[in-house]
Structure 1
Amino acid sequence: MNVAAILKAKGPEVVTVDPNATLGQVATTLSERRIGAIVVMQDRKVLGIVSERDVIKAIARVGAAALTTPVREAMTSRIITCGLNDSIDELMDSMTAGRFRHLPVIEDGELVGIVSIGDVVKHRIAETVMETEALKLYIATG
C-alpha cells in the first residue's frame, strides 16, 4: 500500500494558511477542523508546516502574546515531504526518524495531499488484517 491509496481513502483536502496569519488563527483552525497541522503556503508554493507542537513551543517561549505572532515566525520551514508512490513503510520510517506526525504529499512540484501518522497506522492495520485473513483462508483451503 502507498500514499496514493491513503489519499484515495481519505481524500486530497489539505488545510493551508498564509505565512502572515497569526498563531491564534492557526490554533482556532486546528481546533475547529480537529487536525494537528496546517501547511503554510504562499503563491501556490509550500513554505512550511505549522503544527500543534509549534504553537505550544511559541506559547512556552513568550506566553499568550505568541498568539499574535505571524505563522512564518513559528512554522517548521525545513519540512520532509512524500510522494504518491511512497510506501507505508517509508512513511513510518520517515516519521519515526524525524519525530513528526504529518507529511505533505508533493507530486510534480504541487501539493496534492497530506498524510498523518493516524492515516498511516490505520492503513497499516488494515493491510495486516487483510494479510491475516488471506493466510487463514489459505490454511483452511490448503
Structure 2
Amino acid sequence: MSSRVFHILARKGHTVITVREDDPIPAVADILARHNIGGAPVVGPDGGMVGLVSEKMIVNALSQRGPDISALRARDIMRTDVPTATPDDSIYDIACRMTYSRSRHMPVLEDGKLAGLVSIGDIVKLRAENAEQEAAELQDYVTGSDHAAVQSQESTPPAYCGKKDA
C-alpha cells in the first residue's frame, strides 16, 4: 500500500501557520523563525490561500533589496503558482511535483480550504520510517523462516555441524 498525504497529516496535524498578504517581510521572517518553519501559505482578506512565502524568497528579496526589504509585504515576494495536494494524493506523486516545481512546501487543500502543509522534510521522515519498518519485516521474514540457508543467531545449529559421523 502506498503512503498518502493523509498519513503525514495524521501524524503532524492539520494546524497550518499562515501569514497575511499585507504582513511586512520582517514580521513574516519572525513568524517563520518563531515557529521553526521554512515556509507559510499566504492568505488574503477572505482567508483563502493566495500564495506561499518561504525563507528562500526572503533571502532572495534581501539580496536584491538590502535594507529596503522592510518596505516589502508578503504579497511582494510570495509565489502565486503554488502546487497543491489533496489528502488522498500519493506521497510519491507529490514528491515528484515538489521536485519538478522546486518547491519544499506543499499546501494541502480539501474542498478548496487549507487542510495542512507538507514539507519535503515530512516526506523524507515518512520514507525513512517506512524503510526501517520494511527492513524489520524482511528481517523477521528471513530469520523466522525455515529456510536452511539462513539461520537466526539464536537458533541451534543442526546436529551435523562441526561433527563427523562415525
TM-score tier (shorter) = over 0.9
Q: Which amino acid aligns with 1:97?
A: Y
- For residues 18-37 of structure 1, the aligned pairs below 5 Å read 18-37=20-39
How far apart are residue 65 of structure 1 and its match?
Answer: 1.1
C-alpha RMSD over aligned residues = 0.9
Q: CA deviation at 1:17?
A: 1.1
Q: Give the letter aligned to residue 26 of structure 1.
A: V
The DSSP-based 3-state class of the residue aligned with 1:93 is helix
Which string of whole-angstrom CA distances, capped at 9 and with x for unpartnered residues, describes residues 70-92 of structure 1?
Answer: 11111001100011011121121
> Residue 57 of structure 1 corresponds to which residue in structure 2?
60
1:15-47: per-residue Cα shift (whole Å, max 9, x none)?
111111111100111111110001101212110
Other-structure match for 1:16: 18
Deviation at 1:140, TM superposition (A): 1.6
Which of residues 121, 124, 148 in structure 2 aligns to 1:121? 124
Aligned counterparts of 1:128 and 1:85: Cα–Cα separation in 2:
21
- How far apart, in 1, do the equivalents of 2:15 and 2:70 lie? 25
Identity of aligned residues (%): 35
Q: Which runs of 5+ in 2 are unaligned?
A: 146-166
Return the letter of the residue paired with 1:41.
V
The separation in 2 between residues aligned to 1:57 and 1:39, in whole angstroms, is 18
Q: Distance in 2 between matches of 1:67 and 1:100?
A: 25
Q: Which has the larger radius of gyration?
A: 2
- The alignment status of 1:109 with 2:116, answered yes or no, reads no
The residue that corresponds to 1:96 in the other structure is 99
> How is 1:124-135 mapped onto 2 (pairs within 5 angstroms)?
124-135=127-138
Distance in 2 of aligned mates of 1:14 and 1:115:
10
User: Is the 1:59–1:67 contact (alpha carbons within 8 Å) kept by the matching residues of 2?
Assistant: no
Amino acid at match of 2:97: S
Divergent runs of 4+, >3 A: none
Q: Is the 8 A contact 1:18 1:41 kept in 2?
A: yes
Q: 1:63-74, aligned counterparts within 5 Å?
A: 63-74=66-77
Structure 1: 5+ residue stretches without partners: none
Name which structure has the greater RCO, CA cutoff 8 Å, separation 6+: 1
Q: Please give the TM-score of this superposition, normalised by the length of structure 1.
A: 0.96
Displacement after TM superposition at 1:116 (Å): 0.6
Higher strand share: 1
State the one-letter code of the partner of 2:79.
T
1-side partners of 2:16 and 2:61: how far apart? 23
User: How many residues were matched structurally?
Assistant: 142
One-letter code aligned to 1:7: L
